[in-house]
Structure 1
Amino acid sequence: MDQKDYNKEFEVDLSELFMVILGKFWVIVMFGIVFMLVSFLVSKYAFVPEFESSTKIYVLNKQNNESGLTYGDLQTGTQLTKDYMTLVTSRLVIEQVIAELGLELSNEELRNSVTVTNPMDTRILEIAVRNKDPFIAKKAADALRKDSEEHITHVMDIKRINLVEEANIPENPVTPNISLNIALGGVLGIVIASFLILLRFFMDDTIKTPEDVEKYLGLSVLSTIPLQSDMNVTNKKNKSTNGRVKRERRRRACGDN
């Protein structure tokens, strides 16, 4: 088989697969709708929504307190940003926040709910806390900022840390993302339905039409014979019709007499 014949056969197979998918389009749509509905119900009632509150601080370590801000200060602050991020979630700070707020959380649970990020090319640290209660999320973020400021100034031997933004009270939950889950559920349903339809098509190796005989066996079909069940149905219809005709003739004959 040369390359031209191979490409032709490949294109025919793709068109056949497309027709198979198109023929079961309603099944694919139903799968997508069902999975979208399931995703909505699971996201709405199975997951507990979480709120996120964030605060920002500005950290700069000045090497010379008598002079103004120098380029060396900026470079040093950038290099020490990762150290500051580590100190924010240190064990001492986490334990102090839990004790101050009376949280019923372990150190690991609170640490896992905290995210510390540093926007690129800045010395600003953003501290975000997630919790089921938006007010607790705000209080924890503020307490974490305050306690980490004291810890950083003591460990890094700097005078102070400037506040950029206080923590906010979140209005909308960040998880679960219902819209995203519904979209992903619909896509998953479509993919699963398409996979099952194609799997059934590939596993079905029966010959159904005269065209299949010519295509897969390379034989010419001279004629076709109808199935016996179809013949029986036709015979039953003919017998039923003949019976009605005979009864009608007898009725007319009796009427004439």
Structure 2
Amino acid sequence: MELELDLREYIHIIQKRFWLIVIITVLAMLTSGVISYYVLDPIYQASTTIMVGKPQSESELGQLQLQDLNLNLRLAKTYGEIVKSRSVSQEVIREMNLDLTPEQLTSKTTVDLVRDTEFITIKVTDTDPQLAADIANNLSKTFKKYVMQIMRVDNVQVLDAAVVPMSPIKPRKQLNIAIAGVLGLMFSLFLVFLMEYLDNTIKTPEDIQRHLNLNIIGAIPAMREED
């Protein structure tokens, strides 16, 4: 019975300030929608996939003695570092005449190692979809040259060249609005219960019964003043 009364009280508190909950939730969703659609710049991602074979001689890699596939998997991390190296970044910036520093270009670039394969994927993000694709393709070309020189790899092939992405990967507008709605609802509920906790005034006959545990004998209705 006590639990039932508590639930009824919670429902009463929510119903009493339901308008505030709705306003805060809707405002949060509207704000998120405006920011996502009109403020944040769309971010596009272009990617290219490269297959890298083994070096010409395993003995030139020091004490590393592994089978071909295991060797390539270990070297994949090395290849990823070559892609994001300052030398590769500087050459790409120079060839494309980019107004970027090597660090800025590196921050736009990610290298994913395809599990249990000899493939690596170079991904580039930018607000310009054409530029993202061009940078990805230039990175793969420059990487191919460097890895053949440094690692003496004679089998480097571009499996998939980067194409211009048609849709952005960020911001995820609908997801942002949904998250804002949930956060707005949680904040509004917290605010409503906080206001109720701080409010110790008696406003209705139900408040007398609820807080003072007294029965109501009668009530004096409000009278309108006659003109």
Q: Mark the CA change 1:186 to 1:222 in structure 2 (over 3 Å): closer, same or farther.
A: closer
Distance in 1, matches of 2:216 and 2:22, equals: 40
Match of 2:148 in 1: 153
Report the residue type matching 2:115 in the other structure: M
Q: Deviations over 1:80-133 (max 9, x none)?
A: 211111111001001110000000011111110111112322221110111121
Distance in 1, matches of 2:215 and 2:22, equals: 38
The CA deviation at 1:155 is 2.1
Distance in 2, matches of 1:205 and 1:198, equals: 13
Q: Mark the CA change 1:21 to 1:122 in structure 2 (over 3 Å): closer, same or farther.
A: farther
Match of 2:11 in 1: 18
Q: Please tell me whether the aligned partners of residues 62 and 73 of structure 1 are also in contact (alpha carbons under 8 angstroms).
A: no
Q: Mark the CA change 1:165 to 1:12 in structure 2 (over 3 Å): closer, same or farther.
A: same
CA RMSD in angstroms, aligned pairs only: 2.5
Match of 1:176 in 2: 171
* Structure exhibiting the larger radius of gyration computed from Cα positions: 1
Match of 1:198 in 2: 193
Distance in 2, matches of 1:164 and 1:18, equals: 61
Match of 1:30 in 2: 23
Match of 1:44 in 2: 37
Q: Please tell me whether the aligned partners of residues 55 and 151 of structure 2 are also in contact (alpha carbons under 8 angstroms).
A: no
Distance in 1, matches of 2:7 and 2:187, equals: 19
Match of 1:246 in 2: none
Alignment coverage as a number of residue pairs = 220
The answer to whether the aligner puts 1:144 opposite 2:129 as a matched pair is no
Residue 91 of structure 2, aligned match among 90, 93, 96: 96
Match of 1:187 in 2: 182
The CA deviation at 1:63 is 6.6
Distance in 1, matches of 2:196 and 2:186, equals: 15
Q: Mark the CA change 1:11 to 1:153 in structure 2 (over 3 Å): closer, same or farther.
A: farther
Distance in 2, matches of 1:60 and 1:25, equals: 64
Query: What fraction of aligned residue pairs are identical, expressed as a percent?
Result: 34
Distance in 1, matches of 2:220 and 2:178, equals: 48
Greater relative contact order, per chain length (Cα 8 Å cut-off, separation 6+): 2
Match of 1:226 in 2: 220
Report the residue type matching 1:19 in the other structure: H
Distance in 2, matches of 1:19 and 1:76, equals: 68
Distance in 2, matches of 1:207 and 1:28, equals: 22
Match of 2:48 in 1: 55
**TM-score of the two chains, using structure 1 as the length reference:** 0.75
Match of 1:134 in 2: 129
Match of 2:78 in 1: 83
Unaligned runs of 5+ in 2: 59-65
Unaligned runs of 5+ in 1: 1-7, 66-70, 241-257
Q: Please tell me whether the aligned partners of residues 56 and 152 of structure 2 are also in contact (alpha carbons under 8 angstroms).
A: no
**Which deviates further from its counterpart, 125-134 or 154-163?**
154-163
**Secondary structure class of the residue paired with 1:80:** helix
Q: Mark the CA change 1:124 to 1:203 in structure 2 (over 3 Å): closer, same or farther.
A: same
